[in-house]
């Protein structure tokens, strides 16, 4: 699978990574998906210490043994939780991040993390302290690079100006194009976007829309009503007739030079294989991408702008 550079770093990732949150709590099943992903040429795996309260990291760690050097492992920190207790609290302090990274390293069974990400963030955080924590971990060799996972423009701007982040993970798809407003600024700083949710909870996948949850049928998704989603899918077929829904959705995200990789999740082997095949499809032409922008809503973040 084609690899792309994350920012200006020396991290080169398959243009489709695996978002590991959907792997579930059954180890053999999780292992089968990770094994198949590697067979399909995926070298980029994204997890977080919060996913199933560390269990997800453990599954990833066990699955990558003996081939660690060939893979790019990303995880996240910033949510403080305690084993055996429900819930978690936000804590981007230096002391917490320094402890969290050691816990993640142990669960992953590795002595370094390729991409360590802040799992959220607010403008009220002590951002300088958080940046110092990541910079120290980089100096110590515990992490290779760091980034943030955020859809808050005011937080994103602070990290672009103050830190040496290489990536920003953002929810991005044809039905959530809000990040596009910020792509020029992100690119200007030599930072890459990692697109999570590129299939928008399956709305843009090849499954029938009538299989959507009752909640989605009632409330829709983002700024779209359920009827508008059905209309968009019909228009999508006309705008990109050479592509399946999944192909068009993933290729739309990958068409932006700001995007280093898409990371759809997969709870089944069939989903993983379908997604991997879609990123091998013919890229969208400029005309096709333009038509997809025309039939969809651009949108913008209304909150956290200042």
Question: In b/e form, how buried is each residue of 266-290, taking b as 16+ CB within 10 angstroms?
Answer: beeeebbebbbebbeeeebeeebbe
CA–CA distance, 140 with 137 (Å, rounded to integer): 5
CA–CA distance, 146 with 165 (Å, rounded to integer): 5
Residues with pLDDT less than 50, the chain:
none
Output the pLDDT for position 301: 94
Output the pLDDT for position 125: 93
Count, residues in the chain: 306
Catalytic, 51? Answer yes
pLDDT, tens digit, for every residue of 62-105? 999 989 999 999 999 988 877 777 777 889 999 999 999 999 99
Nearest 5°: CA angle at 51, between 39 and 207?
60
CA–CA distance, 47 with 138 (Å, rounded to integer): 19
Residue 183 gets the label, from left (phi > 0), alpha (psi -120 to 50) or beta, of alpha
Using CB atoms within 10 Å of the CB of residue 241, give its burial: 0 to 12 exposed, 13 to 18 middle, 19+ buried.
Answer: exposed
Output the pLDDT for position 243: 96
Output the pLDDT for position 168: 98
* Tokens 């991005």, located at residue: 172
DSSP state, residue 177: -
**Residue of 44, 51, 159, 224 with catalytic role:** 51
CA–CA distance, 289 with 231 (Å, rounded to integer): 18
Output the pLDDT for position 81: 74
- Whether the Cβ atoms of residue 261 and residue 4 lie closer than 8 Å to each other: yes
């Amino acid at each position: 699978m084609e690899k792309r550079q994350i920012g200006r770093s020396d991290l080169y990732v398959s243009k489709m990574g695996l978002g590991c949150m959907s792997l579930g709590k059954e180890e053999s099943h999780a292992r089968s998906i990770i094994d198949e992903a590697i067979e399909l040429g995926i070298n980029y795996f994204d997890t977080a210490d919060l996913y199933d309260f560390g269990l997800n990291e453990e599954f990833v760690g066990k699955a990558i043994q003996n081939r660690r050097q060939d893979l790019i492992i990303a995880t996240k920190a910033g949510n403080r939780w305690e084993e055996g207790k429900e819930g978690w609290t936000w804590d981007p302090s230096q002391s917490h991040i320094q402890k969290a990274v050691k816990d993640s390293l142990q669960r992953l069974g590795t002595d370094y993390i390729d991409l360590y990400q802040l799992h959220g963030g607010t403008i009220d955080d002590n951002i300088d302290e958080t940046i110092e924590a990541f910079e120290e971990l980089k100096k110590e060799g515990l992490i290779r690079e760091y980034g943030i996972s955020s859809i808050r423009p005011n937080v994103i701007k602070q990290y672009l100006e103050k830190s040496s982040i290489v990536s920003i993970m953002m929810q991005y798809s044809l039905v959530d194009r809000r990040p596009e407003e910020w792509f020029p600024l992100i690119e200007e700083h030599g930072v890459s976007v990692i697109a999570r949710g590129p299939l928008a909870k399956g709305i843009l996948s090849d499954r029938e829309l009538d299989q959507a949850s009752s909640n989605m049928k009632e409330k829709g998704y983002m700024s779209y009503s359920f009827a508008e989603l059905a209309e968009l899918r019909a228009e999508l077929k006309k705008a990109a007739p050479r592509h399946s829904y999944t192909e068009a959705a993933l290729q739309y995200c990958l068409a932006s030079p700001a995007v280093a990789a898409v990371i759809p999740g997969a709870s089944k082997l069939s989903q993983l294989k379908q997604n991997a095949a879609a990123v091998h499809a013919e890229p969208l032409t400029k005309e096709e991408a333009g038509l997809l922008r025309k039939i969809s809503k651009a949108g913008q973040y209304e909150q956290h702008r200042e």
